[in-house]
Structure 1
Amino acid sequence: MKRLVLCLCLIAAPVFAVQPDEILDDPALEARARELSQGLRCLVCRNENIDDSSAQLARDLRLLVRERLVAGDTDEEAVAFIVDRYGEYVLLKPQSGGSNLILWGAGPLMLLLGGLIAVVYLRRRSRSVEGGDASLSDDEKARLREIMKN
């Protein structure tokens, strides 16, 4: 029985991340806060959103989101405030514009560049083997026979 309770607690652990004292009285604001929290990264846990994380910093971010919403910010303003304060890394899905275009395009560009370098290298290598003088001179043949006898 204890194992069953422990398993249920481990499975439901993310449910306990948002504490009852964080929940807003207004259900509409709370729903907006939950929706915004799904797109914000916990800076301690890295790949969890702040609603699923029980880290203290995630709690601070949840409270900050709710504080901004209660203050009258729109969803975009609240997220912009947090991004300005913590950097774009706090977004689980980073923006795909501006300087991030370099990062988004660097991977495919490097793959194409690597493929191009490999093709050029392989073509040059095959030409050097085919076009090179593969036959030995008479002196080289004699030396080879001498080495092979020993």
Structure 2
Amino acid sequence: MNTADFSDEEATAIQEPRLWRDERWTARVIKNEDDEGWAVAMTLAGEAEPALVGPWTMGRDKKNPKPLDAAAFHTLVKTASEVLRRHEQQLHAQLHKSLAVDTAAGRIRVLLDVVPDEDNPYALLSARDEQDAQLAQVRVPAGFRLNEASASAWIENEFRRPSL
């Protein structure tokens, strides 16, 4: 989503005690529903749900939240960005798996790439040689389990579509 999708009001920088916004992130101090304290929610521009929600420090009066400031906002941006990066890495790891199998013809790398289509999810099982040339590729169910045994069986079966 690009910045043209947002109104001018949303793109405007705000620096208030309980609300800070730059061109990408919004930090909002909110009442913690679980207890008497406060929390801060970090939301990326264009997203409906916060990327990060965490506890927020009480102010000196022990009743109201500590005001946001530049240092706190930058720390929150860094933390929320890291949460998103880890989430993306985890998703990538779930959708793309690979392992190597030693054969008489040399080492073969077997890859499983899941295509998370909402209506018809599937995966592509492929094999590559040591020079990274593709040896075979077949479509398999998204739930196909890639492990050393299934990869070896597929190779031994001359890359025919695995029966499930």
Q: Considering the TM-score relative to the shorter chain, is it more than 0.5?
A: no
Determine which structure has greater relative contact order: mean sequence separation of CA pairs < 8 Å that are 6+ residues apart, divided by chain length.
Answer: 1
Name which one, 1 or 2, has greater alpha-carbon Rg. 1
Q: Taking structure 2 as the reference length, what is the TM-score of the superposition?
A: 0.28
What is the TM-score normalised by the length of structure 1? 0.30
Higher helix fraction (1 or 2): 1
